Structure formats: structure tokens, C-alpha cells
Amino acid sequence: MTKNEQVHAEVEVLRRRITELEAQVATSASTELQLPGLADPFATLFRASPVAVVITAIEDGRYLDVNDQFARITGYTREEVIGATSSELQIWANPDDRLRIGELFKEQVVIRDVELDFRTKAREVRTVIASLALIDFEDTPCVLTMCHDITERQQAAQERERLLAEAQAAVRLRDEFLSVASHELKTPLTALRLHIETMQRIGRKADTSEPTLQRIMSKLDISLQQINRLTELVNGLLDVTRIREGRLGLDLEPLDLGQVVQAIAEQFEEQFEQADSTVQLELAADCTICADRSRLEQIITNLLSNAVKYGRGGPINVFVFGDATVVRLSVQDHGIGIAAADQQRIFERFERAVSTQHYGGMGLGLFVVHQLVTLLGGTIAVESTPGDGSTFTVTFPRYVQSQ
Ligand code: ADP
């Protein structure tokens, strides 16, 4: 049962009890409203109820009785309230609410679940959710009000909304910053690459036996490698921006997945060697898919880079296989693996399951891979056991040439 349903159930019990009280009062000789003594279990319920209960005479607006919870919410004692009017106590924080209730009572005898603001004795505003009913005590028309204090809950909800809005604004700002930064970085990087390539060309034409020139040429090689790395990172950021803006164009053509994997794996030889990893390819023939070549290469490159990076120098197995309807690429390493709790989130932006201290990276590679695979009509899944390694499997629809 939710808190609201609980409150409604309690309100229902109290409402029934009030009807019984009405009957009792009607048979009583006294013209005054008399609630039974505390020995009566229903009176105990009235007093101890966590729902605030108020009985007000319609004629002069005086409070005929209130329970302890109402006193607790408003900060008055029961004695201070009983006999006073709501105007005397200035209890309505929004006097319009009172008029609204009056209007509603012209058409109905029970008003359920209205949100009202009360002002306490300390002049603090508290919000309650109230149900009100027209009742009669000894021919005295009264309003029975039952209310539940939701001030803290509402404040918590407002706080949550505020934090959510702040977080959304921060994410928006981050995305805008990424977009601007990646575009801004791209221009000087391209210029720098051109300058270095020009210097390399000039150097090659000069006396290459000159030791100083040899040193300069080797430094230029290293500079170009670093620029290439930086360009890759900036391109990754640009891809994220393009994906977010839905501007990632695809140039689709039928491609043999095994052949594309073979070519990329050859480019990776140096990296495999540096990481002391051996790679084994099992590539089935005729696994054709419809894809954008450079985006497909990007997917394979990312998965192989991760297998090298997180593979702890263990063997890497790459499989391409398929059936009549789908074609699959699996990249398996025997490295650090991924905890089950992280296996979904690593496909989200900036999500990483390793510390930056041990492994560099921005946590964008798998996000881009996932987005690209989805754009190409495929799916990606990971199977992994921490300490034993990971297998990333991409499944594409098989390309079948129409007759
Ligand atoms: P990055 O490598 O830059 O952190 P990715 O998006 O490529 O970003 O990967 C996200 C995270 O997924 C990594 O930080 C790492 O925790 C985990 N991960 C990816 N590939 C592997 C793998 N082959 N083995 C273990 N963990 C991996």
C-alpha cells in the first residue's frame, strides 16, 4: 500500500467513525458536540490518528474539535484552536483556497485530495493534502476535514526537481562545450599536420646523412604520430557531437565483413606486437553486410584497440561467422574482464569501468561503437568474467542481393 493509499484508508476509517459519532451525538441529550472519552477506542483513534482531523461549524467557521495531529502541524494547542475561527488564527496561507472550497461545496458534499497551504502559529507555511466532507452534528452543519502533512515530501520533490534541472543544464553545457571545443581543436590540428608534412617533405629532399637533420626527421615522425593520436581523439569527440545532433551520415555499400576485419587486423600488427598479444583470426567467407566502410572500420578498430588495451598481453581471437540471416563479429580477449554491474553502462557516454590511473581514455569508444552498430541496423553485446577476459559480439543483418 502506498503512503497515499494508507492515508486514504485512514481517512475512510475516520469518516466512518465520524458518521457513528454523528449518530451518537444525535441521540445525546446535550446540544453541545461531545466526543466520547478516551476510554472509547474510536476516540483514541481520533486523537492518535496520524491524519489531522478538524471539525468546523459552517455557520460561524468555529473549530468544534481538532485532534492532536492537527495541533502538532499547526503548532497551536487544541485549547487554542477549539472555539476560534480560521480567520482569527489566519490559518489559510492562501485565502483563495477557502473560497475555492466554498465553491466546490456548492456542488458536492465530499471534496477529495485537495492540496492546501496552512499557516502555523509560528507563521510557517505547511502543505497538506486534505479531504473534506459536509456533515451534521445535532443539526449543526459542519465541515469535517482530514489532512495529511506533505510539506517535507513536497520539499524533497522540489529539491529533486531542482537537482534534476541543474544536472540537465550541466549536461547541456557539457555537450555544447564538447561541440565547440572539438570543432575549434580540429582547425589548428589540421594546419599543424600540414606544416609537419611539409617539413618532412623538405627534409627528405635535403642531405639526409646529416645527423642533425636525421634527429629532426625522427622528431617530426614522433610529432606526426602524436598529431594523429590527437586527431583521433578530436574525431571521437566530433562523432559524439554528430550523433547527438543526428548528423552522422552513412555511405552504405555491400561489404565482406571478413575482408574488412583482415585488413584492419594487418594495420594492428605493430600494436599487437607492442602489447605482446598474439592474434588469431577465424574469418568465414561470404559474410556480406550493408555498411559504411569507414564507420565499419571504426567499429572494428575500437573493439581491437580495447582488446589490446585491456587484454593484459593475452591472446586475442577474432571471429567472423554467420547464418542465413545474420553475420557476426566477435572480438575475444583474455584480459581484465568487466564486472556484471558495469557491462551495460560502458556503452553510455563517458562511462568507464577502470580507473584513469591505470588506463587512459575518455569512455567514448564503446558509446560511438554502439551508436554506429545501431545505425547500421545491428546490435552489440558483451560477455565477460572479471579476470578471465571479455568477448564483444556485433551482429549485423546479412546483406542479401535482391534478384
Ligand atoms: P575507454 O577505453 O576510453 O575508457 P570505451 O568506451 O572504449 O572507453 O570503453 C569503456 C569502458 O569499458 C572502459 O573504460 C573499460 O572499463 C571497459 N572496457 C571496454 N573494453 C574492454 C575490454 N575489452 N576488457 C575490459 N574492459 C573493457
302-316: pLDDT as tens digits: 999 999 999 999 999
Assign 260 a pLDDT band (cuts: 50, 70, 90).
very high
Q: Is 306 in the pocket of ligand 1 (CB under 6 A)?
A: yes
b (16+ CB within 10 A) / e for 299-310:
bbbbbbbbbbbb
Q: What is the pLDDT of residue 316?
A: 97
Q: What is the pLDDT of residue 37?
A: 47
Assign 5 a pLDDT band (cuts: 50, 70, 90).
confident
User: Distance from the CA of 396 to the center of ligand 1, in angstroms?
Assistant: 22
Q: Is 299 in the pocket of ligand 1 (CB under 6 A)?
A: no
Domain ranges for the chain, please list them: 3-149, 156-245, 252-397
pLDDT digits (tens, 9 = 90+) for 139-165: 789 999 999 999 999 999 999 999 999
CA-nearest of 116, 81, 89 to 102 is 116
- Same topology for domains 3-149 and 156-245, yes or no? no
User: Distance from the CA of 345 to the center of ligand 1, in angstroms?
Assistant: 10
Assign 364 a pLDDT band (cuts: 50, 70, 90).
very high
Q: What is the pLDDT of residue 32?
A: 42
CATH topology of domain 252-397: Heat Shock Protein 90 (3.30.565)
pLDDT average, residue stretch 27-49: 61
pLDDT digits (tens, 9 = 90+) for 215-231: 999 999 999 999 998 99
User: What's at 62, amino acid-wise?
Assistant: R
Ligand 1 pocket, mutate which of 350, 364, 366 (most atoms under 8 A from CB)? 366
Q: What is the pLDDT of residue 12?
A: 73
Nearest atom in ligand 1 to 366's CA? 6
Q: Is 390 in the pocket of ligand 1 (CB under 6 A)?
A: yes
Which residue reads 599543424 in cell numbers? 192
Nearest atom in ligand 1 to 352's CA? 14
To which H or E segment does residue 390 belong? strand 389-397
Q: What is the pLDDT of residue 44?
A: 82
Q: Is 291 in the pocket of ligand 1 (CB under 6 A)?
A: no
Strands laid side by side in the 379-385 sheet: 279-283, 316-322, 326-332, 389-397, 379-385
Ligand 1 pocket, mutate which of 237, 299, 308, 338 (most atoms under 8 A from CB)? 338
- The CATH code of the domain at 3-149 is 3.30.450.20
Q: Is 296 in the pocket of ligand 1 (CB under 6 A)?
A: no
Residue 100 scores a pLDDT above 80: yes
SS3 148: strand
pTM: 0.67
Q: Is 333 in the pocket of ligand 1 (CB under 6 A)?
A: yes
pLDDT average, residue stretch 258-287: 95
pLDDT average, residue stretch 378-387: 98
CATH topology of domain 156-245: Helix Hairpins (1.10.287)
Q: What is the pLDDT of residue 360?
A: 87
Ligand 1 pocket, mutate which of 306, 316, 394 (most atoms under 8 A from CB)? 306
